């Protein structure tokens, strides 16, 4: 997903430039490409140097639609050349299982970072970006064992409860001042971000500090949007102004976050000095972390990078799921009613607690169907192989970006009955099911699968279940304007969100 996340933002004025560059370099490329080529999966014939980049821009379609058209023509595995990058797109559950589960170690690497991403990942010093090896093992083991296991997640139970109470209060206040209308994504995103900030730095921040941090994180995501030189490195010298802006954003990020890091160091060295501090945070696990194969501790810049990954990784993805989920509950009032009845029968008139969620079978089915139908990103994070190999009889070079199309797998009619329909009952009837981890088979991969599966899967599930339970328990959700038909058209902003961000009518249930 790293390369694909915002590729559709490339603008059409590059068309003439691509044409010129293609003709200019065609002779050179032809002369240098006479060596034996690998037997790549089929795909559209590209231009010299630019590959299919020019064809994609000329199509006038969002990237996912362009890929859907190619999938219909070339099948479940095909190749797209985007400048100097080779993308091998896989949209078949069995092939995904073979690659990521059966041969997981071989497909567990990451391709080279773009220059901009290398800056913000501190040269691949994050769980998601790290090369499959000692650095990745150390960082992931620390995150999973010391932060995201079940017992550690429970440590922050009070933090989640407080954030959910604030969310409900914010929704009530907004509805009272706006004739019952609320913004779903904005409020969900703020709640998740507050939780993760506290988990990361070990202290609840003021609303002003939270908004400042959020602004910085958004600036980072904007800076990561692809640029033409990401695909045509020969143009790198012509983008000095954009590189300067990227470095400015990075400096702002580091300058704002390092004092927060140092403040947490002081709290640990002087227990009781900060009455608002909590006993444990993600940052605590990083201060003395030993990385396999190196002697020095993580630098402040690496700590900034890892904290940013923790915040960004769990905010937009879960908030996006909430927006799509509330939209589906509005479009399917019978599902909303059934979910409310389960909540009511489980807890009565008291507030939903995290322990109650374990007994809510229909809630779990609703969220599973939501993640099947609306994975936060249509591609999981990009994979690469450790050595040249084959998949489905085709060559997979080590320098290729192997992309798994989660949207296509989750709506594959060979795997699902009426995949277009939002139907949580498919998981209740026993006729259909899916292992979300992919171990027993790949039918949906909202969190990825295999060795690079999202380490925050358990935390994200708790967050989503709790927020949906509280939101449905407190409010009845209906369309705005009243009786209007919801537009399920999507748009790409870091994650796949609703093109027209959801505004809904809420009515308190009590």
Residue 307 marked as a ligand binder = no
Neighbours of 382 (CB within 10 A): 23
pLDDT at residue number 299 = 96
pLDDT in tens, 347-369: 999 999 999 999 999 999 999 99
- Enter the tokens of residue 176: 């009272």
- Enter the tokens of residue 208: 């002003």
pLDDT at residue number 243 = 87
pLDDT in tens, 243-296: 899 999 999 999 999 999 999 999 999 988 887 889 899 999 999 999 988 889
pLDDT at residue number 13 = 39
**305 confidence band (pLDDT: 50, 70, 90):** very high
**8 confidence band (pLDDT: 50, 70, 90):** very low
pLDDT at residue number 230 = 85
Sign of the four-CA dihedral 190, 195, 197, 200: negative
**121 confidence band (pLDDT: 50, 70, 90):** very high
pLDDT in tens, 44-84: 999 988 999 989 989 999 888 999 999 999 999 999 999 99
pLDDT at residue number 335 = 98
* Percent share of the chain, pLDDT over 70: 93
pLDDT at residue number 57 = 87
DSSP 113: P
Q: How far apart are CA 413 and CA 409, in angstroms?
A: 9
Q: How far apart are CA 229 and CA 235, in angstroms?
A: 5
Integer-rounded Cα Rg, in Å, for the chain is: 23
pLDDT at residue number 507 = 97
pLDDT at residue number 295 = 87
* Strands 389-391 and 490-493, sheet pairing: unpaired
Inform me whether the pLDDT recorded for 17 exceeds 60: no
pLDDT at residue number 33 = 46
Inform me whether the pLDDT recorded for 7 exceeds 50: no
Q: How far apart are CA 309 and CA 294, in angstroms?
A: 22
Distance of CA 365 to the CA centre of its chain: 21
pLDDT in tens, 161-215: 999 999 999 999 999 999 999 999 999 999 999 999 999 999 989 989 999 999 9
pLDDT at residue number 453 = 97
Neighbours of 149 (CB within 10 A): 13
- For 505, residues 6+ apart whose C-beta sits below 8 A from its C-beta are 180, 181, 477, 478, 479, 480, 482
CA distances from 52 to 7, 18, 379, 396 (A): 13, 10, 19, 18
Instruction: Find the mean pLDDT for residues 111-120.
Output: 92
pLDDT at residue number 401 = 97
Instruction: Find the mean pLDDT for residues 407-417.
Output: 96
pLDDT at residue number 32 = 46
**447 confidence band (pLDDT: 50, 70, 90):** very high
Q: How far apart are CA 319 and CA 197, in angstroms?
A: 15
Inform me whether the pLDDT recorded for 10 exceeds 70: no
pLDDT at residue number 3 = 43
Q: At what angle are helices 300-331 and 361-373 packed, to 10 degrees?
A: 100
Q: Annotate 266-291 with b (16+ C-beta within 10 A) or e (fewer).
A: ebeeeeeeeeebbeebbbbbbeebeb
- For 344, residues 6+ apart whose C-beta sits below 8 A from its C-beta are 473
pLDDT at residue number 454 = 96
Q: How far apart are CA 29 and CA 48, in angstroms?
A: 6
pTM: 0.90
Q: How far apart are CA 488 and CA 503, in angstroms?
A: 13
Q: Annotate 68-85 with b (16+ C-beta within 10 A) or e (fewer).
A: bebbeebebbbbbbbbeb
Neighbours of 110 (CB within 10 A): 21
Average pLDDT across the chain, whole number: 91
- ∠ at Cα 25 (21, 28), nearest 5°? 175
Inform me whether the pLDDT recorded for 494 exceeds 90: no
DSSP 51: B
Inform me whether the pLDDT recorded for 503 exceeds 90: yes
CA distances from 380 to 143, 172, 219, 454 (A): 19, 35, 22, 9
pLDDT in tens, 166-176: 999 999 999 99
Give 484-493 contacts, CB < 8 A, sequence gap 24+: 486/327, 486/330, 486/331, 488/327, 488/331, 490/64, 492/5, 492/6, 492/8, 492/9, 492/62, 492/63, 492/64, 493/316
Inform me whether the pLDDT recorded for 9 exceeds 70: no
The mean-pLDDT minimum among 29-33, 83-87, 104-108, 483-487 falls in 29-33
Q: Could you tell me which of 424, 417, 419, 422 has the C-alpha nearest to residue 360?
A: 424
């Amino acid at each position: 997903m790293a390369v694909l996340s915002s590729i559709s933002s490339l603008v059409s004025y590059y068309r003439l430039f691509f044409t010129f560059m293609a003709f200019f370099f065609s002779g050179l490329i032809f002369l240098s490409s006479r060596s034996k080529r690998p037997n790549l999966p089929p795909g559209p014939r590209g231009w010299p140097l630019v590959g299919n980049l020019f064809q994609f821009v000329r199509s006038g379609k969002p990237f996912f639609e362009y890929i859907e058209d190619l999938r219909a023509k070339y099948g479940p595995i095909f190749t797209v050349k985007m400048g100097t990058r080779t993308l091998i797109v896989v949209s078949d559950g069995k092939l995904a299982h073979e690659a990521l589960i059966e041969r997981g170690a071989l497909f567990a690497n990451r391709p080279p970072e773009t220059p901009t991403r290398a800056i913000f990942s501190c040269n691949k010093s994050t769980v998601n970006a790290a090369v499959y090896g000692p650095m990745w093992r150390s960082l992931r083991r620390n995150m999973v064992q010391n932060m995201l296991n079940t017992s550690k997640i429970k440590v922050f139970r009070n933090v989640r409860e407080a954030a959910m109470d604030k969310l409900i209060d914010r929704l009530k206040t907004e509805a009272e001042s706006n004739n019952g209308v609320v913004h779903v994504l904005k409020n969900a995103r703020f709640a998740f971000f507050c939780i993760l900030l506290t988990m990361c730095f070990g202290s609840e921040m003021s609303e002003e500090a939270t908004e400042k941090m959020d602004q910085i994180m958004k600036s980072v995501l904007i800076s990561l949007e692809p640029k033409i030189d990401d695909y045509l490195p020969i143009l790198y010298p012509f983008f000095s102004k954009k590189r300067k802006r990227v470095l400015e954003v990075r400096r702002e990020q580091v300058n704002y976050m390092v004092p927060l890091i140092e403040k947490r160091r002081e709290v640990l060295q002087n227990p009781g000095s900060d009455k608002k501090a909590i006993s444990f945070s993600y940052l605590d696990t990083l201060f003395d972390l030993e990385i396999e194969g190196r002697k020095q501790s993580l630098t402040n810049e690496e700590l900034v990078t890892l904290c940013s990954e923790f915040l960004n990784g769990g905010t937009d993805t879960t908030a996006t799921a909430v927006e799509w989920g509330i939209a589906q509950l509005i479009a399917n009032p019978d599902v909303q009613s059934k979910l409310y009845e389960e909540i009511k029968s489980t807890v009565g008139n008291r507030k939903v607690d995290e322990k109650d969620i374990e007994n809510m079978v229909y809630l779990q089915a609703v969220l599973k169907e939501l993640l099947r139908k609306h994975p936060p990103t249509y591609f999981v994070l990009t994979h690469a192989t450790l050595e040249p190999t084959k998949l489905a009889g085709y060559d997979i070079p080590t320098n290729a970006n192997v992309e798994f199309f989660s949207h296509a797998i989750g709506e594959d009619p060979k795997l699902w009955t009426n995949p277009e329909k939002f139907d949580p009952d498919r998981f209740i009837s026993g006729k259909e099911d899916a292992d979300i981890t992919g171990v027993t088979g790949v039918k949906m991969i909202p969190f990825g699968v295999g060795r690079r599966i999202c380490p925050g899967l358990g935390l994200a599930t708790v967050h989503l279940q709790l927020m949906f339970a509280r939101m449905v328990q407190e409010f009845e959700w209906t369309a705005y304007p009243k009786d209007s038909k919801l537009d399920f058209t999507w748009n790409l902003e870091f994650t796949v969100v609703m093109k027209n961000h959801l505004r809904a009518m809420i009515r308190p249930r009590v």
